[in-house]
Amino acid sequence: MTLKDLKIGKSGLVLAVGGEKILRKRLLEMGITPRTTVTVKKTAPMGDPIELLLRGYVLSLRLTDAEKITIEEVMA
């Protein structure tokens, strides 16, 4: 499952961060690292981007980037 598939209000544990070298580095620098729990807070009116809560801060992420992040859904 990818972060793109996670529904509003649900949480997931990051298993792997993919993407090309520059994108992967940027995602890791933003705190999206393996074993991090992320929660989808809301989406933009057209569904893209999504707003995530992780490590105590809010982050907006495009769906094309979110599909590069492999997660496992967790019960919050």
Per the document, the length of the chain is 76
pTM exceeds cut of 0.75: yes
Mean pLDDT of 62-71: 95
Strand ranges inside the chain, DSSP E: 11-17, 37-43, 50-54, 57-61, 69-74
What pLDDT, on the 0 to 100 scale, is given for residue 76?
57
**Res. 19: pLDDT tops 90:** no
How far apart are alpha carbons 8 and 59 in whole angstroms?
14
pLDDT tens column, 31-47: 999 999 999 999 999 88
Q: What percent of the chain has pLDDT over 70?
A: 99
Q: Which domain holds residue 44?
A: 3-74
What pLDDT, on the 0 to 100 scale, is given for residue 2?
95
How far apart are alpha carbons 58 and 51 in whole angstroms?
7
Total domains in the chain come to: 1
What pLDDT, on the 0 to 100 scale, is given for residue 17?
95
| CATH number of the domain within which 46 lies | 2.30.30.90
The rounded mean pLDDT for the chain is 93
- Tell me if the bond preceding 49 is cis, omega within 30° of 0: yes
